[in-house]
Every structure is written in structure tokens, then in C-alpha cells.
Amino acid sequence: MNRSVCMSLLAALSVAACGDDVEPLRAGEVAEPPAPSSPGIIEEPPVEEMPDEPETIEPTGPQTYVSVARTLKFARIDETGRSWGFDLDARVSTASDREACYQEDFRSPMGDEGVDNQFARLLPLIEAAGGAALEGLVQSAINEGDLLVMMEISGVDDWQNDGDVQVTLYRGTGLPYVGTDGYVEAWQTFDIDPEAPWSRVEHVALHDGVLEAGPFALTLPIYVFDFVFYITVGDARLHIEFDERGPHSAMMGGAIALQNILDIANNIDGGQQIPGVVENLGRTFADLDRDDEGHCQALSVALRANLAGAFFYDDTERPTGAE
């Protein structure tokens, strides 16, 4: 039951994978490894620093960085009433804003206005209905290889400022090694699932070590025991932070259609209370995709990740069009 609840929520913004075992660490294929998480995006970085990649000859020319998400957490409302997220509708909405279905925006912990993340209001209610908190279940799914979000950033000439890089999100496959800190170890090698949906954003800019991509559309798979569901994240955004050794933290966000969440909730064994919560309270909190009758049909959402350096096998099969 708890496992099913976790997987239903992961459908909102998570890339799932189940694959074969991977071989031990591989080095020397990409640029320098990322440093531990900075406080800009991740509040609770892993306890131990990621190991250095074995020393190699300094590469020349544009660099490619491959990362795996070693943590994934839905952005929640903190004790001050603030939340991380994106300004998806380019407006600062109040409780009297008809266009946002009367949903008041958040401020970010840094004080930025206009943050859209209404899923943060619904999430605790879904967890209460399912009898489980998400974080531990999500981490188990990552560590067991059931939820491998892979990011490939290519064409990087300067990690601080570069006007034209490419970002591709894949579903990874493999059983990762997990360190004593309870997180996936850095510098492991994975395959790409060539049959899974993937997304690419081209001509993206890096400014002061921060990459901002979007809006774009994501079609993401989620594995729930013996079933695979797909969900579309509209108006998706991506925020990745770099340092001299590469990307170390990320935030993803976008709009999740209520009907898509309901379709998944209705197919979860043992989750009888969840569809009612989504149907009733989800519509109460919906703030995007307003229809002709004035009802919003989607929820804003944000997900934060800590990244570890990784590799793809040289002979891994890539999806058609992603070669």
C-alpha cells in the first residue's frame, strides 16, 4: 500500500526505471565531477562528499556532463509558509486572482514572489490518506534503481557563462551502488532506456553557473509494481546549479493535469481514499490551465534534486532521435 502511494505521487514529476545490473565505476569519459550540494537549491545535502574522479588528462573542447539524481524531494511549504518553485504563469497571484482560480502564490525562501507550487498544499493530505510519508519511499526507489533520473548537459565551453548548451533528460537503467551515507555513489555507469520517453532542450544559456531551461513539455513514465503509467508535465521548467566540477543540484517544475493524476490514483491497489482526495481537494487547489467555465484543471508542482556525476556506457542504445 505505502509503496503504491509513493509511486502514484512520483508520477507527478519523476522518471522511473527498472534495468539490469551495472558494472563497477568507470572514469575518464566526461568532465570533472560535481562538488557537494550548495545551499541554493538543496536544504539537506548528503552527509558525505562525493568522491573525486580519478585524475585524467584535462580534456579540450566543449564538455559533456552526465548526472544522476541521488535525491528527489517534492518542494514543501516550510515553517514560515514559503516554498521553492517556479513562476509558471508570469504573475504574482493573490487569493482574489480569478485567472489563477483564486490561489495565492508563495514566496521562495529567498524572498522571490510569484512561486507556483500548489501541489505542496495537496501533498500532505494525500500522504495522510495513504498512511505514508514520501521521502523514505522515494529514496528507496532511487537506491533500488527504480527511479533513475539522468541528465546529460552537452556543448559546455564555460560552466559559468555559456550561451548555447543542450540538456537532455533520460530514464536510466541499472542497479546502483549505495554508499554508507545512504545515497547513490558518484561516478557509476548506467544504460539509457531507449524505449522510454525522453526530453531535450536546445540553445540553453548558463549565467553565473546557473542553467535555466523551459518552458517545454515532458512525458514521464512511472513504474508501479507491474504497471507502467505515463504522465505529461506541461510548461515544464528546469533549474540546474553548477560549480567548477559540474552540476550539483537541480529543481524541476511544471503543471500536472488533475485528470492524469486521477487516472493513476484509480489504478492503485489499496489506495481507495486517494482518488477522492485528488478529486475534491485537488480541484480546490488547482491553479493552472483555466477552462472556459473558470475552473483550473492543473496543479503547479516543483521537485528538487541533488545530483551525482555519472557515465553512460559507450555502447548504450539511445532513443530514436537522441543519437
Please write the tens of the pLDDT for every residue from 247-259: 999 999 999 999 9
User: Which residues have a Cβ under 8 Å from the Cβ of 226 and sit 6 or more positions away?
Assistant: none
The whole-chain average pLDDT of the chain stands at: 81
Asked if pLDDT for residue 82 goes beyond 80, the answer is yes
Distance separating alpha carbons of residues 190 and 226, to the nearest angstrom: 23
- Higher confidence at residue 162 or residue 41? 162
Q: Give percent of the chain with pLDDT exceeding 90.
A: 53
pLDDT in the model for residue 235: 93
**Which three cell numbers, joined as nine digits, stand for 223?**
513504474
Q: How far is residue 80 from each of residues 40, 86, 218, 290, measured CA to CA in Å?
A: 17, 18, 31, 29
pLDDT in tens, 237-248: 999 999 888 899
Whole-angstrom Cα distance, residue 105 to residue 116? 6
- Segments in the chain forming alpha helices (H): 2-10, 119-130, 134-143, 258-265, 274-277, 283-285
Per-residue confidence band for 225, with pLDDT thresholds at 50, 70 and 90: very low
Higher pLDDT among residues 281 and 34, named by residue: 281
Pick 177 or 136 by higher pLDDT.
177
Listed range (31-35, 274-278, 295-299) with the worst mean pLDDT: 31-35
225 vs 277, which has greater pLDDT? 277
**175-202 residue pLDDT tens:** 999 999 999 999 999 999 898 889 999 9
- Band of residue 221 on the pLDDT scale cut at 50, 70, 90: low
Measured over the CA atoms of residue 85, residue 63, residue 319 and residue 315, the dihedral's sign is negative
- Cα angle 42, 46, 50; round to 5: 110
**Amino acid 227: pLDDT:** 53
pLDDT-wise least confident of 65-69, 195-199, 224-228, 292-296: 224-228
Say which amino acid occupies 34: P
Residue listed under C-alpha cell 565531477: 33
Query: Residues 230-236: contacts with CB within 8 Å, 24+ apart?
Result: 230/197, 231/11, 231/12, 231/256, 231/257, 231/260, 231/261, 231/264, 232/257, 232/260, 233/12, 233/13, 233/301, 234/289, 234/298, 235/88, 235/288, 236/199
Cell of 72: 528527489
Is pLDDT of 98 > 60?
yes
Which of 57-61, 207-211, 280-284, 312-316 is the least confident region? Answer: 57-61
Q: What is the Cα–Cα distance from 31 to 143, expressed in whole angstroms?
A: 24
Confidence of residue 219 (pLDDT cuts 50, 70, 90): confident
pLDDT at 162: 96
Cell representation of residue 252: 524541476
How far apart are alpha carbons 197 and 175 in whole angstroms? 20
Residue 4 has pLDDT above 70, yes or no: no
* pLDDT band, residue 12 (cuts 50/70/90): very low
Give the pLDDT score at 38.
Answer: 40
pLDDT on residue 107: 95
